[in-house]
Amino acid sequence: MLGLGISVVCALGALVAAAGVVAMAFPGRPEPWLPLLLRRAATMFAWAAVSVYSLGLFAVLESEWEFGEGASSVPARACLDGFDPDTIEGLSHHRASHLPLRFDCVRGDGTVYTADSSYVWMNWASVSFALSAAGLAIGAGYATEFRARKTAAGS
């Protein structure tokens, strides 16, 4: 529940930042508007990256925490739910990773299957949003520097 709450808070932060980006289209925007627009967009993408990553991180943590808690919790429920008996045959243990997000189920013979395929899109979305945020933040810095050099050259 905590993971969902953190993800929702981050998603709300992304929506507030998106509203700031949209507000730049209306008259009365502050000057210089380009670096401000780029910083607001970078903030929006950073909040989105944290939102998606925290959703996946807490899903992995929940799968780990459920392991060994009560009856029929060994092996991990994430390795059993939704899989046919042939897939889970010989299951020995699991491996969890927080970067990149994944929860792998390991059989006795060493073969591995992923417990939840949704971690793939969460990893790609988090990386894409984070790289977009970094690129926009760097662009904002370049826009500010370019404006400062242009002003210094003009005086």
pLDDT digits (tens, 9 = 90+) for 12-38: 888 888 888 788 777 777 777 888 889
- Average pLDDT (59-75) is 73
Q: Which of 24-28, 72-76, 101-105, 151-155 has the highest mean pLDDT?
A: 101-105
DSSP letter string over 69-85? Answer: SSTT-SS-HHHHTT--H
C-alpha atoms less than 13 angstroms from C-alpha of 151 in its C-beta half-sphere: 7
Using alpha carbons, select from 117, 103, 120, 7 the residue that is nearest to residue 53.
7
Q: Which of 22-36, 71-85, 121-135 has the highest mean pLDDT?
A: 121-135
How many structural domains are present in the chain? Answer: 1
Give the model confidence (pLDDT) of 82-115 as tens digits: 888 887 788 888 888 999 998 888 888 888 888 8
pTM higher than the cut 0.85? no
pLDDT above 70: residue 64: yes
Backbone phi, psi, residue 32, to 5°: -70, 130
Specify the pLDDT at position 142.
92
Q: pLDDT class for 125, splitting at 50, 70, 90?
A: very high
Domain span at 16:
2-154
Q: How far apart are CA 8 and CA 3, in angstroms?
A: 9
Strand partners, 95: 104
On whether the CB atoms of residues 90 and 105 are closer than 8 A, the answer is no
- Average pLDDT (133-154) is 88
